[in-house]
Structure 1
């Protein structure tokens, strides 16, 4: 037996009093975060000033303990002075603020030392415009019945959805709840339970163990193919954002005609009208629907694929780099790339493949999957986005470019490209290296029909 970390999220139906209490907890978490960040910032500035005066290190002002335990201990020592109203909320709200600040400071410190991938700047003060959430790790955290959950200080809260599945797992001892996160997301309050579920590792089965390659794009969201060159599945991109653009444009124009929070005549802020607020609420609900539809499509596709195939190979796409250049001439492609949500798709495939007992391989970012001929292994120097059919200049092989890329990805894990000697797993000639395989490949281009 093993354990699997899962999250169960339920939409909540809060009344006015419960909503005010939830907002108070979120505000308390934000206050503790900002207060402790101010203390850490002042301490670092003081030590920096003392060093500039030539004070030896042993005589410097002692540094603040930046761990979660140290920050929480300091908060408890001065909370009566900083926040006399602290008793109105659960202590978990302030502890969560300290934990989040400790994690942000740790990421900043590791990034400075080079022990963490990516960039992480010094933490900024939290704003009310940020994500409104608070996490509870102790206290009354449970599913009460099939329609209610219990959280510290908020009490018994009604859920829109049926909680019977999680309730049954907990009551039968198959799972335990370790923490709960209350968040305001997409116009609604949600509670997410982090659950440790017991699973049987020996019950994992696969319907197809040989590797399959998955090419992602904005015209066809997924093209699945095997190393033998057979197309196994093709899912068209739903493009939920593009379908809702007409309605969004109408709402945005309506909001522009109303009295908004900014007065262009006086160049100052003002109180918006109630009509503007209602229009903004409709815009938020429209975007929430788009996001929900997108997530539903991705969940259904990734669940079906990970249950059917045990060895999956995908591209390691640089989505941020693909959407940063081009200006207005590339606006439509950038919007389609963001609507496809490649990063979330890869993340879902990763954890669902692990749950199913399969493997997920990410091909090298510079692997020319679309430019390599699946027939002979030759690599084209340049492949335009408008070329929906790949035609090899060496063997004359013609094939749909997305299917060609999926076949090459399926063969990636075997360390060969089309079985041609003299080529490595990247599909590039060992004499020339990967430099000759560069170009402008980004993905598929919207608005063009694929050649079968």
Structure 2
């Protein structure tokens, strides 16, 4: 059995919207208050606050008369936000993430409910302190009763519910087809079979509309109702870009997993590449990291394999025919001729062929030769 989140949009009633607004506000208040307290304790006394101490502090806050509003909502989302904060701090102290930041009011809001704070009965979902079920647009049936439910509201005011359920993944039939992909900006990726997949460039498509909406927003008076409306228009354009990008990546990753038994990719350092001021916006719009992430978890469900080769492997400079490695290969060079075997290469197709060969070597040997020695790589299956 595996776990999978199923996300749906829902339309709350006026009473449910008010309850959720209070819940989001209380979760945000508790998270920010406890984070501020933990930060001060660490800075002044070098004391790390654990979950038990933070939970006791929450109980003390709820007993204060001026904070009685914390008792008007379910206590489960408040406890869950402390658990999430504990994980964020653990990741920071172990060097895996940055220090957690305070939550803001006008961006994404969420609250997590465990099994004790909701009821799922006959295809209807009831949240704690709410007598009516959520008006959910069930696009597909849940495979089982959810173990946790996360209710969220994005910057545009849309409401979503994410149900974490157990399901039985079914492996796809074994196929002999294997592919290597070289990711880029002009083409989102090029396969070792010579197939070029166009980069949709969603941000550039909506750039003029976004610029106009942002200019109008900048002219509105701070705190006015018109500024709030203009902010919503900007948020809707950003949401549209995000939805289009994710929809395209899901379709492409599903196609790659369905058609190939093994998918070989590069282990790119996307965060480091984003430091390039000229290419950062285009790299972010391409979504390379999200594409690889989707390939990895979908391959695990389908019984496929995704192999990530070493990022320093010279896939573009190496001749896929004879193995000759060029001294340099600027980005402006899109095709080249091997000085040794005189083979003509398309830069991206040649790189995809080398990535495929290196990935198959990883499956056979468990390591990848990058030119500097044996380097371990990741393999998802």
Q: Scaled by the length of structure 2, what TM-score is found?
A: 0.87
Query: For 1:98 and 1:334, how far apart are their aligned partners in 2?
Result: 34
Q: Does 2:242 correspond to 1:244? A: no
Q: 1:372, 1:427 within 8 Å by CA — same for their partners in 2?
A: no
Identify which of 189, 192, 195 aligns with 2:162. 192
What CA distance in whole angstroms lies between the structure 2 residues aligned with 1:92 and 1:373?
58
Matched, 1:97 2:73: no
State the alpha-carbon separation in 1 of the partners of residues 7 and 216 from structure 2: 34
Cα pair distance change 1:119/1:162, threshold 3 Å: closer
**Which residue of structure 2 lines up, in the alignment, with residue 336 of structure 1?**
282
Q: Provide the C-alpha distance between the structure 1 equivalents of 2:261 and 2:270, rounded to a whole number of angstroms.
A: 26
How many angstroms apart in 2 are the aligned matches of 1:120 and 1:14? Answer: 35
Matched, 1:259 2:220: yes
**In structure 2, how many angstroms separate the alpha carbons of the residues matched to 1:285 and 1:70?**
40
Residue 133 of structure 1 and its aligned partner are, at CA, apart by 0.8
For residues 295 and 38 of structure 1, the distance between their equivalents in structure 2, rounded to whole angstroms, comes to 34
Aligned to 2:378: none
Please, which runs of 5 or more residues in structure 2 have no aligned partner? 376-381
Structure 1 residues 251 and 37: alpha-carbon distance in aligned structure 2, compared to 1, 3 A threshold: closer
Question: What root-mean-square deviation, in Å, do the aligned CA atoms of Structure 1 and Structure 2 show?
Answer: 2.6
CA shift digits 1:260-304 (9 cap, x unpaired): 32xxxxxxxxx33x3333232222111111111111111011011
2:150–2:163 CA contact under 8 A, matched in 1: yes
Q: 1:75 aligns with which of 51, 58, 61?
A: 58
SS at match of 1:195: strand
Match of 2:352 in 1: 406
Distance in 1, matches of 2:149 and 2:34, equals 23
Q: Distance in 2 between the 1:64 and 1:414 partners?
A: 46
Matched, 1:356 2:302: yes
State how 1:46-195 maps to structure 2 within 5 Å: 47-48=45-46, 66-67=50-51, 69-81=52-64, 83-111=67-95, 118-121=96-99, 123-129=100-106, 131-144=108-121, 148-159=124-135, 161-166=137-142, 169=143, 175-187=144-156, 188-195=158-165
Structure 2 distance, partners of 1:221, 1:75, is 47
Question: 1:33 touches 1:100 (CA, 8 Å); kept in 2?
Answer: no
Contact 1:207 1:307 in 2 (8 A): no
Cα deviation for residue 36 of structure 1 reads: 2.5
**1:193-272 map, 5 Å:** 193-199=163-169, 203-208=171-176, 210-225=177-192, 230-231=193-194, 233-256=195-218, 258-261=219-222, 271-272=223-224
Tell me how far 1:347 sits from its aligned partner: 0.5
1:336 shift after superposition? 1.9
Whole-angstrom CA distance in 1 between matches of 2:23 and 2:252? 37
Q: Shift of the alpha carbon at 1:129? A: 4.4
Cα deviation, 1:247-272, whole Å, max 9, x if unaligned, reads 2222223334x3232xxxxxxxxx33
Residue 313 (1) aligns with residue 264 (2): yes
Closer, same or farther: CA 206–10 of 1 in aligned 2, 3 Å: same
Give 2:247's aligned residue.
296
Please tell me whether the aligned partners of residues 8 and 195 of structure 1 are also in contact (alpha carbons under 8 angstroms). Answer: yes
Contact 2:119 2:125 in 1 (8 A): yes
> Is the contact between residue 34 and residue 125 of structure 1 (CA under 8 Å) also seen in structure 2?
yes
With over 3 angstroms needed to count, the CA separation of the structure-2 counterparts of 1:393 and 1:323, relative to structure 1, is: farther
Give the paired residue count: 369
**2: distance between equivalents of 1:5 and 1:246?**
41
1:402 aligned counterpart, secondary structure = helix
Residue aligning to 1:419: none
TM-superposed CA distance for 1:185, in Å, is 1.9
Q: Shift of residue 381 of structure 1?
A: 1.7
The structural deviation recorded for 1:355 is 0.7
Does 1:395 pair with 2:362?
Answer: no
Q: 1:260 to 1:310 in 2, by over 3 A?
A: farther
Q: 1:239 to 1:9 in 2, by over 3 A?
A: same
| SS of structure 1 residue aligned to 2:336 | strand
Deviation, 1:335, is 2.2
- For structure 1, the 5+ residue unaligned runs are 49-62, 112-117, 170-174, 262-270, 417-423, 435-452
2:249 is equivalent to residue 280 of structure 1:
no
**How far did residue 43 of structure 1 move?**
3.6
1:211·1:413 contact (CA, 8 Å) conserved in 2? no
| TM norm structure 1 | 0.75
